[in-house]
Amino acid sequence: MPTAAAVAALRPGDLVAVVLEREGRDDEQGRYERLWVELTEVLGDGRFRGELDNQPTFIRGLANGAALELGAGDVYDVISARR
């Protein structure tokens, strides 16, 4: 998990890893899917908008490039575009 300071420093262009829950699944494939989101906007109050940066394997109805809104608590890894 990234530090609060790392999440507060996020800017458009940064990549964040998130975990999305799969509806109605609790089998051997797992209930969650880890995905990358490229941030497009910092909304404030720990909220962000971004676009999915990879193709989900198990979550139907969600595709690469899909717009998502997420909160600071959804972020479990960060790759800064400013490195």
Q: How many domains does the chain have?
A: 1
| Whether the Cβ atoms of residue 79 and residue 15 lie closer than 8 Å to each other | yes
Determine the Cα–Cα distance for residues 19 and 26; give it in Å rounded to an integer. Answer: 15
Give the residue, 61 or 75, on which the prediction is more confident: 75
Check: pTM over 0.85? Answer yes or no.
Answer: yes
Determine the Cα–Cα distance for residues 49 and 62; give it in Å rounded to an integer. Answer: 15
Q: What is the pLDDT of residue 80?
A: 85
CA nearest 66: which of 46, 42, 40, 45? 40
Q: What is the pLDDT of residue 21?
A: 82
Q: What is the domain extent for residue 24?
A: 4-79
The tens digit of pLDDT for each residue in 20-63 reads 887 765 555 667 889 999 999 999 999 999 999 999 988 888 99
CA nearest 54: which of 73, 38, 69? 38
